[in-house]
Chain A
């Protein structure tokens, strides 16, 4: 069973790498947006393989559907059907910066605990408490729900505030009185 889980895990991660590389190379915006939809859906599948079913639901509904629809609407509102131009100078700089990031992160993960280790520090701190006591305290079998809505309820309230603010921002930006676009 564990072997199958691992095969699924690495296959999906491989697909993700290929999709991300393709997005970085394509110069058509529509193609990039559709590939981004595929990328999100692959991420959602990976979350199922990693036991995070609630996250997978959210990623499939919000990350895949809403984000892709938002991008498609932005494409149609900006009318950008043209091909994206590439500038070499930019690309060399980008390669240097991302290699620097990769080196820094590689140094950072050197002493990470092994993947799926039950005795990793992250799994020993408060997680056992939630798993053992949340049912008697909250009464919901889904631990993620009881942590999200009860133990970390203020966190979720803050999330709602962020979404509200973003919504106001979007409305303000899209309905603002605009000067005519400059034609020259």
Chain B
């Protein structure tokens, strides 16, 4: 178990970099939201990786003594997942509203439209 060190965290960092790239480079607002969601999931993976205990099992108590993983990150991330979906819904509703006001969901077209008026 010791030999793999912090490889999990390196992969999480790579996922975060890809997600940030999507958020900045995408000109389409829905794709930006997808990027935000990927960033969010990578933060979840980081937390759950911290809570993993080698040779442990899920934190549901058994009759016989056992090694359990840390339940606290699980609780925090449970809350975060649900809040994340709520914010995603709000963001998508904003996009629908932008589309009905500007007729486009391309951020630079919206910007040009604002500057023209």
Q: Which of A's residues lie within 8 Å of B, judged by CB? A: 1-2, 6, 9-10, 13, 16-17, 20-21, 23-24, 29, 32-33, 36, 39-40, 43, 46-47, 50-55, 58-59, 62-63, 66-67, 70-71, 73-75, 77-80, 84-87, 90-91, 93-95, 97-99, 101-102, 105-106, 109, 112, 114-118, 120, 122-123, 126-127, 130-131, 135, 141-144, 147-148, 152, 155-156, 159, 162-163, 165-167, 169-170, 173-174, 176, 178-179, 181-183
The DSSP consensus for interface residues of chain B is helix
Asked if residues B105 and A78 are in contact (CB atoms below 8 Å), the reply is yes
Top 5 nearest A-B pairs (CB, nearest first) are A166-B86, A94-B24, A116-B54, A94-B25, A51-B69
Asked if residues B27 and A98 are in contact (CB atoms below 8 Å), the reply is no
Asked if residues A67 and B85 are in contact (CB atoms below 8 Å), the reply is yes
A93 to B73, CA, bound (A): 34
A53 to B24, CA, bound (A): 33
Q: Mark B73-95, 1 if CB is under 8 A from A, else 0.
A: 11101110111111111101111
A63 to B58, CA, bound (A): 21
Nearest CB on A from B96, distance (A): 5
Interface size class of B (residues with CB under 8 A): 35 or more
Nearest CB on B from A75, distance (A): 7
- 30 A–B contact pairs at CB < 8 A? A6-B4, A17-B15, A20-B15, A20-B38, A51-B51, A51-B52, A51-B69, A55-B77, A59-B41, A62-B82, A67-B85, A67-B88, A74-B30, A74-B96, A78-B96, A101-B17, A109-B13, A114-B5, A115-B6, A116-B55, A118-B67, A122-B73, A123-B53, A131-B59, A142-B59, A143-B60, A159-B79, A166-B90, A167-B89, A170-B89
